[in-house]
Amino acid sequence: MGPPLAPKLPESLSPASVVQCELEHEQTVEAAGYQGVDLGGTLAESVEFDRCAFRQTSFAGAQLQTVRFTDCVVETSDLSNVRAENARLERVSLSGCRATGLAASGAMLSDVAFTDCKADLTNWRFTRFEAVTFQNCNLAGADFTEADLRGASFTDCDLSGAQFHQATMAGTRFRHCELQGIGGITNWEGAIVHPDDLLELSYILAGALGIVIDTDRP
């Protein structure tokens, strides 16, 4: 699996207009730049963002079911507690963002890069990941139940307490990750794990299989 394709932004973006900051159902926004805009609490379904950039923008608590982001850049923005079920993200990069409690179940992510993001307690149930990377992200307590993670990779991430029950993981890559307390380890068939992570993973797998490790004997 290669790296995600980068967003294709135009050479210049127009600042988001008043109309583009007051989102409505089924609205399409093209080639707009959002800088320091507060979209928190927005309620709008089937909104499409095409070739847009978001910097220090707040979506906190917004309800954006079936939202679509295509060729977008999101930097140091607040996505915490956003409801984005059945979202579609294609060629999107997110860096330095806060996304605690983001709910994106049933989403489709293609060519998406998360870097230095706080995404703990996020809900990715039934989500499909294609060419998606998580780099240095906090994903503690994230829920990947029944997600298709075959196209995902995690590097230097905190996945403590994350849930992988019934997930599809053949080809999913893990490197230098915190894995303490993860659930659904028996569904990791086909996952690719860095040797440095194997020791911790072996203890988790042993516990899941009911194996008792005797640490008292020399």
Give tens-digit pLDDT for 8-52: 999 999 999 999 999 999 999 999 999 999 999 999 999 999 999
If 0-12 CB within 10 Å is exposed, 13-18 middle and 19+ buried, where does residue 72 land?
A: buried
Does residue 19 sit within a domain?
A: no
Q: Is residue 10 part of a domain?
A: no
pLDDT tens by residue, 99-158: 999 999 999 999 999 999 999 999 999 999 999 999 999 999 999 999 999 999 999 999
Per the rule left: phi > 0, alpha: psi between -120 and 50, beta: everything else, 28 is beta
Each residue's pLDDT tens digit, 168-203:
999 999 999 999 889 988 888 898 888 777 666 765
Res 147: pLDDT: 98
pLDDT tens digit string along 86-116? 999 999 999 999 999 999 999 999 999 999 9
Mean pLDDT computed over 67-84 = 98
**Residue 165 forms part of a structural domain:** yes
CATH code of the domain covering residue 121:
2.160.20.80
- The answer as to whether 191 is a domain residue is yes
Provide φ and ψ at 175, rounded to 5°.
-145, 120
Residue 185 has a pLDDT of 85
- Residue 9 domain-assigned (yes or no): no
Range of the domain at 199: 25-208
0.85 surpassed by pTM: yes
Among the listed residues 132, 66, 145, 135, the one whose alpha carbon sits nearest the alpha carbon of residue 96: 135
Domain count, the chain: 1
